């Protein structure tokens, strides 16, 4: 009778363990990258929806008052005192305001960036702050612009933005590759 040699090695070799750990690490990293891209896209969708909501409220305000709210008296220093921004200008849930006038009749609360910053970013590369301006350039209150940033710097909306003031000045703060969007109500559209 031949005797069979029975191995008592029941564990894994060090190389097998390292291979498995490497595979798990790679899968975890890939999952995190994919998940982060999904979160970025979700925040950008929220930003675009916020701005559209603000634009609708501004149009309703215009229809009722024959003018957009003039920017100023918003306690803002960024990028200047004649601007409102969603960080420094917040008062009673509203940052689009002038003196005691705000969009409270049309919005319960003015939307803010889904990933707000503690102090306003000018220019808002990567998001963090919404900016509003409606003052001067040949028609105070007859046009406005909102500037905001997207985290997806390749978003196609960058190539379609821009606002024309009443004196013909065209505002377009984005470069087509930095994620900054300029939208608003052109003087000629009202």
Asked if pLDDT for residue 104 goes beyond 60, the answer is yes
| Spatial distance between the Cα atoms of 21 and 67, rounded to a whole number of angstroms | 63
CA count, 13 A, side-chain hemisphere, 85: 27
- Secondary structure of residue 131 in the 3-state scheme: strand
Does position 93 have pLDDT exceeding 80, yes or no?
Answer: no
| pLDDT confidence tier of residue 35, bands split at 50, 70 and 90 | confident
**pLDDT digits 0-9 by tens, 6-27:** 666 677 788 888 999 999 999 9
CA dihedral 77, 78, 81, 86 (to 10 degrees): -90
Closest by alpha carbon to 86, among 135, 124, 48?
A: 124
The pLDDT, as a whole number, for residue 103 is 82
pLDDT of residue 59: 93
DSSP output for 54-110? HHHHHHHHHHHHSSPPPP-SS---SS-TT-EETTTT-BTTB-SEETTEESTTT-SS-
pLDDT band of 190, cuts 50, 70, 90: low
pLDDT band of residue 37 (cuts 50, 70, 90) is confident
Chain mean pLDDT for the chain: 84
């Amino acid at each position: 009778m031949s005797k069979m040699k029975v191995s008592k090695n029941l564990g894994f070799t060090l190389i097998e363990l390292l291979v498995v750990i490497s595979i798990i690490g790679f899968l975890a990293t890939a999952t995190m990258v994919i998940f982060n891209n999904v979160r970025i896209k979700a925040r950008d969708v929220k930003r675009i929806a916020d701005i559209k909501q603000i634009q609708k409220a501004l149009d309703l305000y215009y229809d009722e008052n024959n003018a957009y709210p003039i920017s100023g008296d918003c306690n803002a220093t960024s990028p200047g005192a004649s601007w409102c921004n969603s960080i420094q200008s917040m008062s009673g849930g509203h940052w689009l305001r002038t003196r005691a006038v705000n969009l409270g009749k049309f919005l319960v609360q003015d939307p803010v960036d889904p990933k707000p910053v503690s102090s306003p970013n000018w220019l808002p590369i990567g998001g963090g702050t919404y900016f509003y301006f409606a003052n001067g350039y040949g028609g105070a209150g007859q046009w406005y612009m909102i500037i905001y940033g997207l985290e997806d710097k390749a978003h196609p909306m960058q190539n379609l933005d821009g606002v024309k003031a009443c004196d013909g000045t065209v505002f377009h703060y984005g470069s087509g590759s930095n994620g900054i969007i300029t939208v608003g109500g052109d003087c000629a559209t009202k």
